[in-house]
Chain A
Amino acid sequence: MMDTNSLQKPKRSFKRPFAFPRNCVYRPLRQIHNMERNQKPPADQPTYFTLNAPPSLLPAKKYSDISGLPAPYVDPHSKLRYANADEYASMQHLPSDIINGYLTLRGYTSAVG
């Protein structure tokens, strides 16, 4: 298997035949996280995953999805936030894919699909 691998690769004079085991070529970060957790490092030892920023304790400010202005209102139908009546009127003609685009951009996920 190693032979076929090195054959496919472009021949470089400065390289020696070498290939990672197949399951190590690509490991997503989530998998690395699980591996580290399973190794049970001492609790006080900092790792990549313990250095994550803590969740924010401040209430998230609300901004209009479309204009970015401070938004006191939410359209109960589309769930978009809006700042004023003009914006609300313009929202009514948005196609549903754009509405969903704004919602996912803000990270909004509804409980009911």
Chain B
Amino acid sequence: MAVPKRLLIIDNGSYECRVGWHDTKQPELRFRNVLTKPRKDRKKDNQLPDASAPAATAEELRASAEIQIGNDIINIEAVRAHLKSPFERNVITNWNHQEQIFDYIFSKMGFDGEESIAHPIVLTEALANPNSCRRQMSELLFECYGVPALSYGIDALYSWQHHQQKHKLVADALIISFGYSTTHVIPVLANKMQLEHVRRLNVGGFHINNYLFRLMQMKYPVHLTAISSRIEKLVHEHCHIALDYREELLKWAQLDYYEANIMKIQLPYNQVTATNALLTVEQKQEKRRELALRLLDIKNRREREKLQEDEEYLQVLRKLRQLYEQDKLQKFERALQQQQIANLEELDKLMGTLTSRIKRVKERAVGQPRPSKQQDKLDKMPKPPEGVPQAEWLSELRNKREELLQRKQARQQQRQEQARRHTHAAQERMRIISTLARSEKRRKANGGDEEDDGFGMNDNDWDVYKRINRYNDDSDSDAENEQMLEYEKILQHYDAGFDDANNAAMQALIAAENYQLHFGVEAIRVPEILFQPSMIGCTEAGLAELIAFVLKLFTAEQQQRLVDHVYLTGSCAQFRGLKERLAKELLELRPFQSSFAIYESNDPTLSAWLGACLQANSKNFSGSLTTRKLYQEYGGEYFREHSASNLYYPTPKD
């Protein structure tokens, strides 16, 4: 059977999906293999005007609220938390998502308007993909999209075949494939993958990104949002694999090495836009006062305008009244009508209210002159009480502040003591708890009407709970903190020599530095999880140990054949220092003076797609296609094996 048409090559990776025709040099479509649903409430907002709007615009609105996929995601940073993937690890588990992604792929590749996908498809799948997953994939592609034929392959093997173009005579290799969710060690002997000896480490690029994200998040809890958008860039550009991890760490422990090599990342910072949350209590108060002043200003202005208006009106009314007093009745009547006033009585009443209002406003203005800012500040600043010399008063304040500080430290001390067992404080705490529990029980046992021990009559009784609370002793220290701030303010005001690290000028200087992220040890610490998964609580063997494990499954002669061509592929193979580190590890685990060689893929991200392309272009490729007929005959699990595919093990029938 001849290959009927152009083939569509899909490298369906858990990080990125690459799609293109088999006769092109590059995949035409590359996108992050994720989708997101815009939030429900936004959808509702969009659809509300539907009822009145014409049908066409309603359609548009709905389209904008629909699921966004891959490159169509408008702002990937904003929806980072809501990204959904069809994958769990490297296996497809969510078929709704996968179907939506296929819709996206096929409409981007220009199938809109056609009745089915009339092109054979080459698709990558996970190594040792479970049969049930493959069955569903086949069902989806054959039944839903009407694909004529399919070919499944493993990305790492495709990549290897691409690499083999330059190393035509090499038939044995140890492929190490660094994926987004997994890392594979794949032994190949005589161009055949040794499936039973393949091992998979479930750590990959995702874990590296996530580890860095969590570390930075806990190091700088304030800058959470600013960090999340920079993680991938940091990993891609600044992380590398240490040749000797321990040695590098010890270097970082030296302060001067740290100073010389630390990377400081300045986050966007401008003082004006500092959010409310970052202001100190003083700054907040100042802001509030300013706002109040401004409001007062507006109110005063409005009042003055109103006053002027009232006075003018009163003037007019007075003239009217004069008319009446001068017995010019006719003119008076006409004027009354003009002003829409019924009669003399109403005129008098109106004049009365106006005068009283004017009087009231004027009185208020006199009694409460507009406070100037400076005046305000001086007024608020407490003065020494009368009869006490200022110096004495200040020293008293200073003492009070010291006392507060000491109390704070004592509390801290107590908290630490309580946290440990066998200390007096901890035992005291337990004693109180047990007494409380006992009295509670007694009351319950007697149906609640036991003689009251009087607990709670006095407010101080409740302090016992504060004493046994291990963590939140902050409730009463808040007030103390405020008190302390107040003292400090006064001391700063009167006492030039008062030394306080928190003074405003200093604060402005270090504020920008607060927006700096220090990125040092992380650069080697994060990708190190490939070699030491225990760092993220993963019990699996690290990469070096895993390679040793896989090699031990072979005879000495086979081992030598494998290590003579170690091939690194996958996006994570791009870490600087990876090759050197692996060389060091191999040197350690191979016999003395034996040889080995490590080759890197020249295009780690695309080589799988290119390799699949290569195979699709080969002469006897049609033999590796699973056609529609085969699918109907053998069922969804079945697929034709080929040089880059999994092995077919039919599911045992019971």
| Contact surface of A with B, Cβ cutoff 8 Å | 9-10, 12-16, 18, 20, 24-29, 32, 35-36, 39-42, 44-48, 51-58, 60-61, 63, 66-70, 76-77, 83-84, 92, 96, 98, 101-102, 104-108
Q: What residues of B have a CB within 8 angstroms of the CB of A47 in the complex?
A: 128, 130, 649
Complex Cα spacing A14 to B105, Å:
12
CB distance from B136 to the nearest CB of A (A): 6
18 residue pairs A–B, Cβ–Cβ below 8 Å:
A10-B66, A13-B114, A13-B115, A14-B106, A14-B115, A14-B145, A15-B145, A18-B143, A26-B96, A28-B88, A28-B93, A41-B651, A41-B652, A53-B546, A58-B542, A70-B249, A104-B537, A108-B537
B253 to A26, Cβ gap below 8 A? no
B145 to A27, Cβ gap below 8 A? no
- The reply on B127 being an interface residue by CB < 8 A is yes
B246 to A70, Cβ gap below 8 A? yes
B112 to A107, Cβ gap below 8 A? no
- Nearest neighbor of B541 in chain A, beta-carbon distance: A56
Q: Contacts A13-B115, A60-B534: A26 and B93 contacting too (C-beta < 8 A)?
A: yes
CB < 8 Å neighbour of A58 from B91, B143, B545: B545
Complex Cα spacing A98 to B144, Å:
48
Q: What residues of A have a CB within 8 angstroms of the CB of B312 in the complex?
A: none
Number of chain B interface residues as a range: 35 or more
Of B211-219, B487-495, B567-575, the segment with at least 4 beta carbons within 8 Å of chain A is: B211-219
Q: What residues of B have a CB within 8 angstroms of the CB of A42 in the complex?
A: 652
- Nearest neighbor of B245 in chain A, beta-carbon distance: A61
A35 to B132, Cβ gap below 8 A? yes
B94 to A25, Cβ gap below 8 A? yes
Complex Cα spacing A44 to B131, Å:
16
Of B194-202, B449-457, B476-484, the segment with at least 4 beta carbons within 8 Å of chain A is: B194-202
Q: CB-CB contacts of B388-400 with A at 8 A, as 1s and 0s?
A: 0000000000000
- Nearest neighbor of B114 in chain A, beta-carbon distance: A14
Complex Cα spacing A14 to B195, Å:
37
- The reply on B443 being an interface residue by CB < 8 A is no
A106 to B536, Cβ gap below 8 A? yes
CB distance from B181 to the nearest CB of A (A): 11
Additional A-B contacts beyond A13-B115, A58-B545, A68-B525 (11; CB < 8 A): A15-B145, A16-B144, A29-B89, A40-B652, A53-B549, A63-B525, A70-B249, A77-B420, A98-B218, A98-B221, A101-B217
CB < 8 Å neighbour of A48 from B129, B139, B219, B651: B129
- Nearest neighbor of B198 in chain A, beta-carbon distance: A51
B96 to A25, Cβ gap below 8 A? yes
Q: CB-CB contacts of B80-103 with A at 8 A, as 1s and 0s?
A: 000000001101011110010001
Complex Cα spacing A102 to B630, Å:
53
CB < 8 Å neighbour of A15 from B129, B144, B215, B541: B144
A106 to B541, Cβ gap below 8 A? no
B199 to A52, Cβ gap below 8 A? yes
CB distance from B46 to the nearest CB of A (A): 16
- Nearest neighbor of B419 in chain A, beta-carbon distance: A77
Q: Contacts A29-B88, A46-B195, A96-B471: A105 and B211 contacting too (C-beta < 8 A)?
A: yes
What 5 pairs across the A-B complex have the smallest Cβ distances? A107-B537, A60-B534, A18-B144, A53-B540, A68-B525
B541 to A52, Cβ gap below 8 A? no
CB < 8 Å neighbour of B107 from A12, A28, A66: A12
Find residues 529-550 in chain B having any chain A CB closer than 8 Å to their own CB: 532-542, 545-546, 549
Complex Cα spacing A20 to B196, Å:
32
Q: Contacts A28-B93, A32-B130, A105-B537: A51 and B66 contacting too (C-beta < 8 A)?
A: no
Q: Contacts A32-B130, A70-B246, A70-B250: A56 and B140 contacting too (C-beta < 8 A)?
A: no
CB distance from A27 to the nearest CB of B (A): 6
CB distance from B421 to the nearest CB of A (A): 9
A16 to B536, Cβ gap below 8 A? no
- Nearest neighbor of A104 in chain B, beta-carbon distance: B537
Complex Cα spacing A20 to B542, Å:
39
A53 to B199, Cβ gap below 8 A? yes
- Nearest neighbor of A18 in chain B, beta-carbon distance: B144
A53 to B114, Cβ gap below 8 A? no
- The reply on B522 being an interface residue by CB < 8 A is yes
Q: What residues of A have a CB within 8 angstroms of the CB of B54 in the complex?
A: none
Complex Cα spacing A66 to B139, Å:
49
Find residues 9-25 in chain B having any chain A CB closer than 8 Å to their own CB: none
A14 to B146, Cβ gap below 8 A? yes
Q: What residues of B have a CB within 8 angstroms of the CB of A66 in the complex?
A: 219
Q: What residues of A have a CB within 8 angstroms of the CB of B145 in the complex?
A: 14-16
Complex Cα spacing A82 to B129, Å:
42
A41 to B534, Cβ gap below 8 A? no
Find residues 163-201 in chain B having any chain A CB closer than 8 Å to their own CB: 195-196, 198-201
- The reply on B113 being an interface residue by CB < 8 A is yes
Q: What residues of A have a CB within 8 angstroms of the CB of B532 in the complex?
A: 60-61
Complex Cα spacing A24 to B117, Å:
24
Q: Contacts A25-B94, A56-B545: A32 and B132 contacting too (C-beta < 8 A)?
A: yes
CB < 8 Å neighbour of B93 from A20, A29, A53: A29
